[in-house]
Chain A
Amino acid sequence: MASLAYSMAIASPWVTADVVEISEFAELALKYGVIGVPMTIINETTRLRGSLSEANFIEPVVKAGTDRSS
């Protein structure tokens, strides 16, 4: 998952990828309701729980990167 996120940030100038070691950022766990890892947040609005395949990961990234209302 981390490698996939980093690959997207290297491949696209629009993507920033943060890998966050959640146990050291308890306030973020509360803010985003993280009860298990991995968990992915895209543009603060999309919340994806669990491990994602590459095909399932790219869809919300493209949606966030093309949605003109966001």
Chain B
Amino acid sequence: MAVITDTEKTQIRGLLERGLTNPVRIIHFTSYEQSLTQSLLVLPAQAQRYYEETRQLLAEVASVSDKLSLEVHDFAADPEGVGHYGIDKIPATLLVKDTNHRVRYFGLPSGYEFSTFVEALVDVSRGTYTLFSETQEKLKLVIQPVHIQLFTTTH
């Protein structure tokens, strides 16, 4: 069963067709039952469904535009990728343009956060952002890594 309704798909197709200018790679880290079984971890059925639903949602989003590509990595089987992207929990989704992989979402981007996620795809693609000029000036003062973790809920 599709995670995104046909109506939603039509809406985001319009938004993404108008908005996307450069390709965006959606890099996703997940877990599969098989690999976890091999490492003797037992994945509860609820978590499996959550991972599956997240993968399906991303596949459906990626399918609406040829400027989007989806790369799915198995967290347990890809320590190199996990290390390269600094992934410490899953499901993890990175919106990547060129070398910028600093826009990240952890969890299933549904509910209230779905529109934020789609808008972020457009902003990453275009390299655009919505900040007051004062904020932009202050941000130029930043000269060392800043890690923002924003905890939210989709319902």
Contacts and interface: CB of A to CB of B under 8 A. Distances in A.
Interface residues of B, number: 44
B interface, by DSSP: helix, strand, loop or mixed?
mixed
Contacts of A39: 150-151
Nearest to B135: A58
Given A21-B154, A62-B142, A66-B143, A40 B107 contact: no
Given A8-B131, A14-B145, A21-B107, A58 B151 contact: no
B127 interface: yes
B148 A5 contact: yes
12 contacts: A3-B116, A14-B143, A18-B105, A21-B106, A24-B91, A24-B106, A25-B106, A25-B107, A34-B151, A40-B149, A54-B135, A61-B148
Interface of B: 50, 89, 91, 100, 102-109, 113, 116, 119-120, 123-124, 127-132, 134-136, 138-154
